[in-house]
Amino acid sequence: MDFARHLWLSCNNYRSVQLSKEVRVMPSHSAKERELGSTFLPRFDAKGLISAIAADSVSGAILMLAFMDAEALAKTRETGLAHFHSRSRGKLWLKGETSGNFLHVEDIRVDCDQDALLLLVRPEGPACHTGASSCFYRSLRGDSLVRNDS
Amino acid sequence: MDFARHLWLSCNNYRSVQLSKEVRVMPSHSAKERELGSTFLPRFDAKGLISAIAADSVSGAILMLAFMDAEALAKTRETGLAHFHSRSRGKLWLKGETSGNFLHVEDIRVDCDQDALLLLVRPEGPACHTGASSCFYRSLRGDSLVRNDS
């Protein structure tokens, strides 16, 4: 009877060790799959957001950087038009909804740890609300900013 | 006497209106200066971080996206080598400090609302720790990721 109890306890200890090993091993397996695998596992931050760069698919010019939540990413994939999450307005933002300057998404790329996206886009007009083709229209020279698009 | 009191109160009301107008006007002046002016006013978020994209200054390829705090930005400007703030390690990170794959910064650009930076760099080697030249080496095809650098 003692032997049977010992066997039963050992068996449960073994299972619990196995389970805890699986729990420990899970994150590194998952990290490897995330970094090198073919599974799309976007990493949203604590606020549910992921960074998304938009670049011109023809010229390669970097147009803007914004944030997507799961809803914006789903809408972008569904419609082919870049959607973001407006942090200031706290809601879904179809880029171009007021200006008409939509971004047609031709490719979605993801970085190694899947916490950033790169959208290759065909812009219908200036990407920046100031009228500049790119939001990155100023360069730092010493302590001042100078326009780089003139 | 009543007239003098009325004049004094009116005068104080006028001053208070003027003061409250100044208070109201201040943020938009500052926003305008930030968006269109020549003053470098980087906007760090609640965690003291600003997004920084690194792109190859010759090919235009987008290499990586990371975050800078004020210290990393100062070190980058001082040394000409890209420094970031490692969120996982919670400290200053000189890109290439272990791999030797430094990023030599040739231009720092800032976006319209100054909450994102674009570094145009000359990379000494692959920018990605996986050995890929860019961290964005996979594209989304349907629900799977495929390499775009082979």
pLDDT for A10 equals: 44
Q: Does B88 touch chain A (CB under 8 A)?
A: no
Interface of B with A in 27-86 (CB under 8 A): 35-40, 51, 53, 55, 60-62, 64-65, 77
Reply yes or no on whether the pLDDT at B1 is more than 90: no
Interface of A with B in 122-141 (CB under 8 A): 128-130, 132, 135-140
Torsion angle of the four alpha carbons B52, B53, B54, B59, in this order, in degrees rounded to the nearest 10 = -160
pLDDT for A14 equals: 39
Distance from CA of B74 to the nearest CA of A (A): 12
pLDDT for A17 equals: 36
Distance from CA of A138 to the nearest CA of B (A): 6
Phi, psi of B8 (to 5 degrees): -65, -45
- What letter does residue A79 receive in the DSSP assignment? H
Per residue in B12-62, pLDDT (tens digit) is 443 333 333 333 344 555 888 899 999 999 999 999 999 999 999 999 999
pLDDT for A31 equals: 86
Give 10-residue mean pLDDT values along chain A (150 residues).
Answer: 47 38 47 92 96 98 98 98 96 97 98 97 97 97 93
B40, B55, B62: residue with CB nearest A140: B40
Rounded Cα gap, residues A72 and A56, in angstroms: 19
Residue numbers in B near A141 (CB within 8 A): none
* DSSP element (H, E) containing A128: none
pLDDT for B150 equals: 72
Rounded Cα gap, residues A135 and A137, in angstroms: 6
CA distances from A77 to A82, A119, A128, B15, B59 (A): 8, 11, 22, 55, 28
Reply yes or no on whether the pLDDT at B122 is more than 90: yes
pLDDT for A84 equals: 98
Residue in B closest to A87 by C-alpha: B45
Whether B67 contacts B52, CB under 8 Å: yes
pLDDT for A1 equals: 40
pLDDT for B31 equals: 86
Supply A37's token pair.
């695998």
pLDDT for A29 equals: 55
**B111:A65 CB<8 A:** yes
Phi-psi region of B107 (alpha: psi -120 to 50; beta: other; left: phi over 0): beta
* DSSP element (H, E) containing B50: strand B50-56
Per residue in B93-117, pLDDT (tens digit) is 999 999 999 999 999 999 999 999 9
Percentage of chain A beyond pLDDT 90 is 76
> Residue B10: pLDDT band by 50, 70, 90 thresholds?
very low
Rounded Cα gap, residues A76 and A105, in angstroms: 8
ipTM of the complex: 0.81
Percentage of chain B beyond pLDDT 70 is 81
